[in-house]
Amino acid sequence: MIKAAIIGATGYTGLELLRLVEKHPGLQIEVITSRENQGRSLEEVCRWSGKYKDLVFEAPVVENIAPKVDVAFLCVPAGKAQELAYQFLTHKVKVIDFSADFRFKSISMFEETYQLPYVYPELNDKAVYGLCEVFTEEIKKADLVANPGCYPTSILLPLIPLVKEDLVETDFIIADSKSGTSGAGRKADLYYSFCEVNEDFKAYKIASHRHNPEIEEKLSLFARKEVKVVFTPHLLPINRGIFSTIYVRAKYPVKVLRDCLQTFYQNRPFVRLAPEGTVPTIKEVKGTNLCKIGLFEDKKRGFVVITSVIDNLIKGASGQALQNFNLMFGFPEETGLPFSPVFV
């Protein structure tokens, strides 16, 4: 049984991870942390009724936690993970980080994007980008995995095989994405309150979202040249789910692109192509670790339109982290992860 700590366990991603781990046969949560709730139980703080309801929150003190665990899930904001990761790795504890601290190969790009200093640049070479279906072999050997952003997951999964095989033009890609409000995290903010979000639909952080450089860096790696993406996120009046609509100029008919994706993901359980002519929906993936992809050809205008849906809290965060854990510790990739959607 592998023992784990969840650092920052009261946010949506930490709680979602706890929920998923309850069904994992080889992973035991030994420690949960919260600065504000230390000394209180999960049942008391979150009205938890499951397996871990009696687990008590601790302070995030690495020297006290490290001897108890084999892996630490860092559910903390950008800029907070570097010190924690450094300390855990020093104690021979593997790390799966939910923040952006280790997602970039370019340290200068991270610092520019997040306006934060890179305190431990030596860790950057050790970090593996945790897009499971793409960096599988690297993840299996990693001690430090950077869980990808939710929007990038929905965009990179359909695009990486296509740019890798040079099937689309890389100088003109548009990604128009919509997310449920849980993507903003568990916080009190007027912008995300019920009356502000309900019965409304709005774009935000236009031309300035922090996931844009993350998307471009990874696509450029596989295209072997600089890729630019026009990325616009939108806020949906729903709890969870991401729907990305991606516009590309294809060099070949849509069937070639579809065959490429089928081949690339043929042995991967969590990436599915929707039947030809059908649009995958958020409801189909809600509560699952799936990414579903649809492709449509606009011959008159020379575009292929790609639709991609995920649950932002599972495949876009906690489920992908558990999938990374499975790869790192030798479990079957799908262990403990849900395939069946929640329809209501």
Q: Which are the catalytic amino acids?
A: 150
Q: Is 288 helix (H, G, I), strand (E, B) or coil?
A: coil
CB 133 within 8 A of CB 140: no
| DSSP state letter for 62 | H
Q: What one-character-per-residue DSSP string does 122-157 give? A: GGTTTEEE--TTTSHHHHHT-SEEEPPPHHHHHHHH
Q: Is 243 helix (H, G, I), strand (E, B) or coil?
A: strand
CB 325 within 8 A of CB 96: yes
Q: Which two tokens stand for residue 175?
A: 């990604």
Packing angle between helix 150-164 and helix 211-223, nearest 10 degrees? 20
Name the burial class of residue 79, with classes exposed (0-12), middle (13-18) and buried (19+) by CB atoms within 10 angstroms of its CB.
middle
CB 127 within 8 A of CB 74: no
Contacting residues for 344 by C-beta, under 8 A, at least 6 apart: none
Q: Quick one: which of 316, 319, 327, 318 has its CA closest to 94?
A: 327
- Alpha helix (H) residue ranges in 22-169: 42-46, 62-65, 81-90, 107-114, 136-140, 150-164
Q: Quick one: which of 165, 145, 121 has its CA closest to 264?
A: 165
